[in-house]
Amino acid sequence: MATDLYDLTVPAFIRGLRSLSAILDKGAAYAAEKGIDPLTLTQARLIEDMAPLTAQVQYASNSAKGAMIRIGALDPAPMPDTEQSFAELQERIARTIAFLQSVPRERIDGREDAEVILKTPGGDFPFTGRSHALGFALPNFYFHVTTAYALLRQAGVPLGKLDYLGGI
């Protein structure tokens, strides 16, 4: 029995975003407890040439919603990348989850072999729905969720593997 593309993507994105939300909650609580300016955490970078925590959350959001827009041939759902605070990042995550929950299953299932084009400033990258979801969108999404986790963990926020996994 085949697995539907919707089942491989939307629930995984939502679970990852909920985990990311919980990780950010712990980051905000840690900043408050330790008297750290929250912007110190939201602007943290692993290394100078890497994007900060705010961008990691934005990129995870963009990866999830962008995949569904491309695979499902849906209308764009723009979200300006302007968030700076933990509260603004949480709002971004909530809007992304709401968008994902609004994606009609029938716009994703059956599009496994449909042409999907990822347009970037560096050029266009052709995929099928399946290869885009499994070979690009999900790995890219998890890269940014993992990086957000690592940034807060490096800053001393008490996070563990189950925080990343979102519980079992």
Residue 168's pLDDT is what? 61
Q: How many CB atoms lie within 10 A of CB 74?
A: 16
Q: What is the pTM of this model?
A: 0.95
91 contact partners, CB below 8 Å, separation of at least 6: 83
Residue 124's pLDDT is what? 95
Gyration radius (Cα) of the chain, Å = 16
CA separation, residue 62 to residues 93, 137, 159 (Å)? 10, 10, 24
**pLDDT, averaged in runs of 10, over the chain (168 residues):** 84 97 98 98 96 98 97 94 98 98 96 94 95 97 98 97 84
Reading the block at residue 33, the tokens are 């407890």
- Phi-psi bin for 167: left (phi > 0), alpha (psi -120 to 50), beta? left
At 125 the three-state DSSP class reads strand
Boundaries of every domain in the chain = 5-165
Of 29, 13, 23, the closest CA to residue 103 belongs to 13
Residue 1's pLDDT is what? 46
Residue 72's pLDDT is what? 96
Residue 166's pLDDT is what? 83
Residue 3's pLDDT is what? 66
CATH architecture of 5-165: Up-down Bundle (1.20)
Residue 2's pLDDT is what? 59
100 contact partners, CB below 8 Å, separation of at least 6: 10, 13, 14, 17, 64, 65, 68
Q: How many CB atoms lie within 10 A of CB 31?
A: 20
